[in-house]
Amino acid sequence: MEGNNELYNNFVRDFGNRICTITAGQTYSNLIFLCIGTQRIIGDAFGPLVGNRLTNMLRGARKLNVIGTLENSVSLCNINQIMERINSTYTNPFIIAIDAALSSTENIGSILVSDGGIELGSSLNRQCIKVGDMSIKGIVGRNCRNINQNLSTLQNVPLSRVVNLADVVSSGIYNTINYNCNE
C-alpha cells in the first residue's frame, strides 16, 4: 500500500472513529457492508471490488456480512429487492453503504466517510434512493453536473485509481474491525 499511506491512515482514523462511536452501546444484529456498483463501468466498480476483497478477508466472521461483489452486484436496478431481503433476514442491522462517487477535481482520489447513507442515482439525475446508516464514498472522478458527461467520466476512470481506492478501503475496514473495535 506504499504511496497510499496518508490516504490509508486518514481513512482508518475517520472510519474507526465513526464506526466505534456510532455503534458504541448499540445492539445491532449484524454489520452489513452494502457494496454498490457494477463491473460493467470501471468507475462504478469501486463498491463491488471492495465487496470482493471484504468477502475474502471476513470469511467466517460472525455477524459481518458483505452484500455486493463483482459477480453479484447491487445497483439502482435491484436495490429495492436487496433492501427487502436485508429487512426480512436481519432484525436490526447496521448498514454501511460503499459506493463510487463523483465530486470536484480536488477531491478525486479521496475517501469520504459520513454518518447516514448514500443517495443512489444522484450523479446520473435518476430517482434517488437513500440506503445505509453510514457511508463510504470513493471519489473516482469529477462531477460534471451533466448526465452524459458523468457517465462518460465513470466509463473512463483509470482502473488503477479504482483498484487503489478499493485496496485502501477494504484493508482499512478489515484492520479497523479487527483491532480498534475489539479493544
Residue of higher predicted confidence among 7 and 183: 7
pLDDT band of residue 43 (cuts 50, 70, 90) is: very high
Cα distance between residue 176 and residue 13, in whole Å: 9
At 138, give phi and psi (nearest 5°): -95, 115
pLDDT in tens, 65-87: 999 999 999 998 899 999 999 99
Which one, of 136, 138, 34, 47, lies nearest residue 94 by Cα? Answer: 34
User: In whole numbers, what is the pLDDT of the chain averaged over residues?
Assistant: 89
Q: Is the pLDDT of residue 19 over 90?
A: no
Q: How many CB atoms lie within 10 A of CB 176?
A: 21
Q: Which residues of 60-88 are buried (b: 16+ CB within 10 A; e: fewer)?
A: eeeebbbbbbbeebbbeeebeebbeebee
The listed range with the strongest mean pLDDT (9-23, 107-121, 163-177) is 163-177
For 138, the grid coordinates are 470513493
Mean pLDDT across 12-30: 85
pLDDT at 129 (0 to 100): 82
Q: What is the pTM of this model?
A: 0.92
pLDDT band of residue 48 (cuts 50, 70, 90) is: very high
Cα distance between residue 18 and residue 32, in whole Å: 15
Q: Is the pLDDT of residue 130 over 70?
A: yes
What architecture is domain 5-180?
3-Layer(aba) Sandwich (3.40)
pLDDT at 182 (0 to 100): 47
For 180, the grid coordinates are 480498534
How many angstroms separate the first and last alpha carbons of the chain? Answer: 25
Cα distance between residue 37 and residue 101, in whole Å: 10
